[in-house]
């Protein structure tokens, strides 16, 4: 039993996470601090969702507390057509100048997932000329990502058709919750396509290091443009470099040299360099001190095994404690006859550690406090310790805040219930508002369709909603109520004024009333909405809920629901 415990202890000791892995785990947890979202199956839509996090983390992830910068970029480009969205470009430039691809190496949750997948035991595909060429494909995707929304406004192309991070963190996380079991009926060919992409990426990441990051991720391509300019990252001292190539050989990314656009700034090349030519620019808090190690002289005609040397240097850097220079100078050197190098004999009056009385020995607690105090005198240790304390305090604060954050308590009304009176904000020309109360709807069947501008199923069904409304010629009320949490940056009215439906008809020529839901009223949740659009609700002439359909409502279903509500 004792042997088992010792082996277990040794295993944990040998498999302790590196400092970079701890930072990755910390960033993933902080980015998804709304832990209760995974239990409730609901997306957080609070005030912090308007801010972008640095790494790739889907807006629709139940735990996400911020927006994905890649999704925000697409959404803002799609909404603003040819006008440059200053906010998101400013955020990306700020992240790039401060951190560059340090974000990829330390802060991206999907990067962490890829690295954990790569740890699965399997044959590994080493980088080669083909993977290096393929690494430029993400820049092609970046160009497409920017071009398509500009040429054809309204399509967040990467998020909609490709992004495996969104499929895993958003769709799969939501579908895994039993509270969202009714979502399965809404899944279509687009989800099947994206899920297939996710499977391919996951399998690829088992065999290829960070496959998505290296070949596909447009966000990494953006940050890669700032590698030379960023304040933090690795740097190479060309005056020290001996061009041994060990840093490039040991790196799993498709770099041509340290710190180029493919470098994720992980810092793992620092202890590999035999001449200590690679260091951190900016802060050195997250790496251990490295010691310059002299190269051994090779025999005449022989070669120095630099790979073995770098491995031994890395082991020395990690495991060998560094004595203070004064301590080294003061240490006596014992000769063969017990004399010191200076000729003085070692005093017999000084008891060895083993001869100290139990009373004279300091307690383990006091010894630990004393040792910690000695370490804290080191400025670098003090800075690192303080940084970790502050970081943990921020994380605990965030976890507590989102845990106690009140979920919007909305009374849910179902079929057979009388809907309460509420007021809708109605879009008018020039972006003005007009309030319209449901009191004015009494006496007629009322159809309420919940939609938003980036929802393709929503936009696909609205044309026949309009046709049915025109057929009834004022005998029914019909509202298209836009989500309060997905309003395009230019506003819904601007989007209606500048776009056409699938039949080529201008949205602003529709007779149905376009209105806006609000966070305060949240009528979508009132009728049982679960953050999946579209949703259709039909009220009879007395305001009683007669029909609720989560997901796309066919033309036949809508006609039958209206007729049933009239009878």
Q: Please tell me the predicted confidence (pLDDT) of residue 151.
A: 61
Closest CA to 120 of 18, 14, 205: 205
Taking the C-alpha atoms of residue 169 and residue 181, their distance in angstroms, rounded to an integer, is 17
Mean pLDDT, range 367-384, rounded to an integer: 80
Half-sphere exposure of 211 (CA within 13 A, CB side): 20
3-state secondary structure of 233: strand
> Predicted confidence band at 4 (pLDDT cuts at 50, 70, 90)?
confident
- Name which residue leads in pLDDT, 385 or 217: 217
Residue 32 Cα distances to 24, 91, 554, angstroms? 12, 20, 36
- Is 65 in contact with 33 (CB distance < 8 Å)? yes
* Best mean pLDDT range from 268-277, 359-368, 433-442, 515-524: 268-277
298-330 per-position pLDDT tens digit: 444 444 455 555 555 544 444 444 344 334 333
Percentage with pLDDT > 90 across the chain: 40
Cα separation, 15 vs 353, in Å, equals 33
Please tell me the distance from the alpha carbon of residue 398 to that of residue 402, in angstroms, as a whole number: 6
- State the maximum Cα–Cα separation within the chain, in Å, rounded to a whole number: 115
pLDDT per position as a tens digit, 111-145: 999 999 999 999 999 999 999 999 999 999 888 87
For residue 534, whether the previous peptide bond is cis, meaning omega lies within 30 degrees of 0, is: yes
Q: What is the mean pLDDT of the chain?
A: 80
Domains of the chain, each with CATH number or no CATH: 16-224 (no CATH), 232-295+306-319 (3.30.70), 423-566 (3.40.30.10)
CA distances to 265, 286, 316, 317, 320 from 292, rounded to whole Å, are: 21, 19, 11, 9, 13
Residue 418's DSSP bridge partners are 544
pLDDT at 467 over 90: yes
| Six-digit token string for 442 | 């009494």
Q: What is residue 14's predicted lDDT score, i.e. its pLDDT?
A: 78
What is the SS3 string spanning 297-351? CCCCCCCCCHHHHHHHHHHHHHHCCCCCHHHHHHCCCECCCCEECCCCECCCCCC
- How many other CB atoms are there within 10 angstroms of residue 412's CB atom? 10
Q: Look at 180 and 320; give whichever has higher pLDDT.
A: 180
Evaluate whether 103 touches 95 at the Cβ level (below 8 Å).
Answer: yes
Q: Which residues pair with 339 in a beta bridge?
A: 345
């Amino acid at each position: 039993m004792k042997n088992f415990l010792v082996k277990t202890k040794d295993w944990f000791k040998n498999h302790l996470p590196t400092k970079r892995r701890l930072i990755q785990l910390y960033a993933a947890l902080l980015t998804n601090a709304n832990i209760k979202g995974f239990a409730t199956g609901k997306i957080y839509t609070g005030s912090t969702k308007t801010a972008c996090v640095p790494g790739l983390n889907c807006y629709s992830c139940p735990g996400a507390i911020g927006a994905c910068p890649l999704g925000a970029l697409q959404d803002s480009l799609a909404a603003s057509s040819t006008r440059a969205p200053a906010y998101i470009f400013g955020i990306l430039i700020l992240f790039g100048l401060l951190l560059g691809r340090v974000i990829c190496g330390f802060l991206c949750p999907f990067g962490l997932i890829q690295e954990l997948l790569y740890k699965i035991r399997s044959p590994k595909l080493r980088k080669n000329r083909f993977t290096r060429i393929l690494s430029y494909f993400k820049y092609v995707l970046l160009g497409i990502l920017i071009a398509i929304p500009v040429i054809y406004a309204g399509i967040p192309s990467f998020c909609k058709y490709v992004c495996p991070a969104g499929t895993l963190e958003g769709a799969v996380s939501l579908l895994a919750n039993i509270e969202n079991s009714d979502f399965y009926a809404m899944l279509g060919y687009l989800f099947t396509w994206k899920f297939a992409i996710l499977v391919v990426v996951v399998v690829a990441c088992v065999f290829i290091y960070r496959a998505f990051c290296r070949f596909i991720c447009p966000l990494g391509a953006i940050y890669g443009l700032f590698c030379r300019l960023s304040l933090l990252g690795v740097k190479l001292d060309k005056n020290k470099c001996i061009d041994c190539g060990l840093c490039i050989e040991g790196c799993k990314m498709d770099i041509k040299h340290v710190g180029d656009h493919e470098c994720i700034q992980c810092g793992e090349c620092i202890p590999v360099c035999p001449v200590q030519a690679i260091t951190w620019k900016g802060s050195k808090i997250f790496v251990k001190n490295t010691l310059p190690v002299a190269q051994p002289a090779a025999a005449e005609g022989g070669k120095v095994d630099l790979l073995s040397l770098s491995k031994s240097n890395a082991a020395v850097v990690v495991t060998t404690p560094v004595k203070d220079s004064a301590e080294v100078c003061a240490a006596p050197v014992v000769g063969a006859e017990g004399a010191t190098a200076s000729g003085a004999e070692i005093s017999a009056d000084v008891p060895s550690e083993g001869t100290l009385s139990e009373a004279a020995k300091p307690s383990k607690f006091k010894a630990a406090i004393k040792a910690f105090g000695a370490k804290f005198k080191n400025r670098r240790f003090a800075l690192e310790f303080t940084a970790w304390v502050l970081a943990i305090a921020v994380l605990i604060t965030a976890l507590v805040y989102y845990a106690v954050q009140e979920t919007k308590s909305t009374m849910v009304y179902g079929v057979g219930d009388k809907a309460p009176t509420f007021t809708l904000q109605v879009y008018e020309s020039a972006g003005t508002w007009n309030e319209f109360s449901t009191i004015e709807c009494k006496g007629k069947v009322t159809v309420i369709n919940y939609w938003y501008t980036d929802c393709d199923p929503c936009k696909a069904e609205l044309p026949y909603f309009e046709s049915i409304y025109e057929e009834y010629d004022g005998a029914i009320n019909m509202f298209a109520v836009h989500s309060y949490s997905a309003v395009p940056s230019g506003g819904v009215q601007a989007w209606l004024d500048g776009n056409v439906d699938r039949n080529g008809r201008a949205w602003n020529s529709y007779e149905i009333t376009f209105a806006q839901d609000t966070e305060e009223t949240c009528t979508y949740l009132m009728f049982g909405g679960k953050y999946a659009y579209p949703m259709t609700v039909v009220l009879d002439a007395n305001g009683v809920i007669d029909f609720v359909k989560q997901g796309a409502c066919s033309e036949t279903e809508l006609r039958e629901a209206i007729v049933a509500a009239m009878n």
